[in-house]
C-alpha cells in the first residue's frame, strides 16, 4: 500500500481560495487506510462571490467557511450528497475549496465497497458526493482540522505536471462575471475528473487489482 507524505501544515491554507485550490491538486486525503489523490477542485470566495455559500453572509450552515483555513466544511446537496470542502484564509475571511474528484491511491477495496463498484474507473470518484462517500464522511466532520493527526487528514502527495482551469460547475444562479470565473482546476490529462472534462483527457485506464502509484 502506498503511503502519502507528511501532514500539510496550517500555513498552507492561509491564502486566497484560488491559490489554495491549485495547490491542493496532487495532495492526498487520508483516513483510516484510504488515500485519495485530489485531481479536481473548485474555489469559492465570500460575500463578493455570488456563486458561494458565503454570498449572504455568515449563517449556521456556512459557519465553518469563516473559520481558520485548513478546516473541513461539509454540507448536504439536495439533501442527499455530502460535499467535502476545505476552508481557506485567515479566520473571519470566508472562503473554501470544493473537492470535486480524486483518484484512489490506497485502500482501493474499501473504496470499492463503499461505492458498491467492482473496479476502479474514473466514475468511482468523479463528483464531490462520491469523494465523500469513498472516505465515509458525514456532516460531523465539519470544523475538523485537516492538519491534525487522526480523523481526516491532508497529506503531501504527487503534484500534477499540468493544470487546466475553467468555469465552475452548477452555478447558473450566480452573476455573469462569477459564472465566468476560471476557478475550477483539474490535473490536465487525468481521466480522474468529473464532466465536463478540462485539459484533454486520455482514454481511461482501469485498476483491477491492488493500489496504483499516481503519475510522477
- 179 CB contacts (<8 Å, ≥6 apart)? 51, 167, 168, 171, 172
Residue 197's pLDDT band (cuts 50, 70, 90):
confident
Angle at 145 between CA 59 and CA 116, to 5 degrees: 90
- Least confident segment among 24-38, 138-152, 198-212: 198-212
User: What are 137-195's pLDDT values in tens digits?
Assistant: 999 999 999 999 999 999 999 999 999 999 999 999 999 999 999 999 999 999 999 87
pLDDT higher than 50, residue 122: yes
pTM of the shown model: 0.90
Segment 52-67 shows an average pLDDT of: 94
Segment 71-83 shows an average pLDDT of: 86
Domains defined for the chain, CATH in brackets: 10-187 (3.10.300.10)
- Alpha-carbon distance 134 to 114, whole Å? 6
Amino acid at each position: 500500500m502506498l503511503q502519502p507524505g507528511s501532514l500539510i501544515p496550517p500555513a498552507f491554507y492561509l491564502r486566497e481560495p484560488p491559490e489554495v485550490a491549485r495547490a491542493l491538486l496532487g495532495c492526498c486525503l487520508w483516513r483510516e487506510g484510504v488515500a485519495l489523490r485530489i485531481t479536481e477542485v473548485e474555489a469559492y470566495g465570500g460575500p463578493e462571490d455570488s456563486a458561494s455559500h458565503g454570498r449572504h453572509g455568515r449563517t449556521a450552515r456556512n459557519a465553518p467557511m469563516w473559520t481558520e483555513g485548513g478546516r473541513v466544511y461539509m454540507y448536504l446537496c439536495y439533501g442527499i450528497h455530502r460535499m467535502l470542502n476545505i476552508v481557506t484564509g485567515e479566520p473571519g475571511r470566508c472562503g473554501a475549496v470544493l473537492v470535486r474528484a480524486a483518484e484512489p491511491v490506497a485502500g482501493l477495496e474499501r473504496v470499492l465497497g463503499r461505492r458498491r463498484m467492482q473496479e476502479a474507473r474514473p466514475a468511482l470518484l468523479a463528483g464531490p458526493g462520491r469523494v465523500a462517500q469513498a472516505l465515509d464522511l458525514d456532516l460531523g466532520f465539519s470544523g475538523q482540522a485537516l492538519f491534525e493527526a487522526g480523523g481526516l487528514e491532508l497529506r503531501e502527495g504527487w503534484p500534477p505536471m499540468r493544470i487546466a482551469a475553467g468555469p465552475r460547475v452548477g452555478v447558473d444562479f450566480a452573476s455573469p462575471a462569477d459564472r465566468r470565473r476560471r476557478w475550477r482546476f483539474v490535473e490536465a490529462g487525468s481521466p480522474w475528473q468529473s464532466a465536463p472534462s478540462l485539459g484533454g483527457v486520455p482514454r481511461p485506464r482501469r485498476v483491477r487489482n491492488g493500489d496504483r502509484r499516481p503519475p510522477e
